[in-house]
Amino acid sequence: MAKKCFWALSSNTNLHLHFSLTDARSLCYQFNITSKGQPWCKTQGQFNGNTFLNDTCDSEKFELISIQEMKVNERQAWYEQRDTLKYVLEELKKILLDVKLEMTTARGPLSLQVIMMCKQESSGRKSALWEFRLDRQKFLLFDATTESWIWEHPQSGPLRKALDGDRKLLVTISLGDCVHWLQQVSETQGEVLDSKGNCAERKLH
């Protein structure tokens, strides 16, 4: 069974309320990267809480799910995301390897879990968040709208150091590409995918 995107509750109440709005449409991407093994990465995408794609680094095509009613040209819009997502995964793998070198306690394989979420309200206001986990433990939460870290684990130093140089990339991908993809699917899908919740209300096990 596909896992649902989630967004961890932040100590910033206003931020949590903003990302829990029901009149907003959302895209959510989960990336799982390992420092050893094959496949070394996996991607899952969700639209309004419904999984629409699964992908691994060694696959030739996206596995599209629950969008069987899409026309050929509409499905192509999803396939065009592949190059950007592959670039993000390559950058995340570099970051994971840098972090592994910095963390003297990480003797075995290390894994990085990342969630990127973007939303656009009916008013047109857009927002985006990133969450970063090491071995499934939450380490960092980044608000792309303010370009700031809004939650940090006490031992997040090496990961934050590796990511600080990529802040602009995080903002561009989430508030630029992700919102653009969200607008595309919102225009073409209508009610093909019924909303069954949003990323802020789901939990990844």
Mean pLDDT for the chain?
Answer: 76
CA 75, 80, 86: angle at the middle one, nearest 5?
Answer: 130
CATH architecture, domain 29-201: 2-Layer Sandwich (3.30)
What was the pLDDT predicted at 145?
A: 94
Contact 145, 152 (CB under 8 A): no
pLDDT at 187: 67
Q: Any alpha helices (H) in the chain, and if so which ranges?
A: 13-18, 72-79, 82-102, 157-164, 167-171, 179-189
Q: Which residues of the chain are modeled with pLDDT < 70?
A: 1-23, 37-38, 58-79, 104-107, 187-205
Q: Greatest CA separation found in the chain?
A: 51
Q: pLDDT above 70 covers what percent of the chain? A: 65
pTM metric for this prediction: 0.78
- What residues does each domain of the chain span? 29-201
pLDDT of residue 106: 58
Say how many C-beta atoms besides its own lie within 10 A of residue 88's C-beta. 22
pLDDT digits (tens, 9 = 90+) for 103-159: 766 567 889 999 999 998 888 899 999 999 999 999 999 999 999 999 999 999 999
At 115 the pLDDT is 96
